[in-house]
Structure 1
Amino acid sequence: MKWIIGLLTVLALAVVVRLVSRLPGEDAIRLAGYAGTAAFAALVGFLLRWRARQPGQQRNRRAG
Structure 2
Amino acid sequence: MKWIIGFLAVLALAVGVLLISRLPGEDAIRLAGYVATAAFAALISLVLRWRASRAQQRNKRAG
Q: Return the TM-score normalized by structure 2.
A: 0.89
Task: Give aligned-pair identity as a percent.
Answer: 68
- Larger-gyration structure (1/2): 1
Q: Which runs of 4+ in 1 moved over 4 A?
A: none
Q: CA deviation at 1:62?
A: 2.7
Q: Give 5+ residue unaligned stretches, structure 2.
A: none
Match of 1:54, SS state, is helix
CA distance in 1 between counterparts of 2:55 and 2:47 reads 13
Q: Return the TM-score normalized by structure 1.
A: 0.88
Spell out, residue by residue over 1:12-62, the C-alpha distance to the aligned partner (whole angstroms, 9 max, x if none): 111110010000000000000000011111111111111222211012123
Q: Give 5+ residue unaligned stretches, structure 1.
A: none
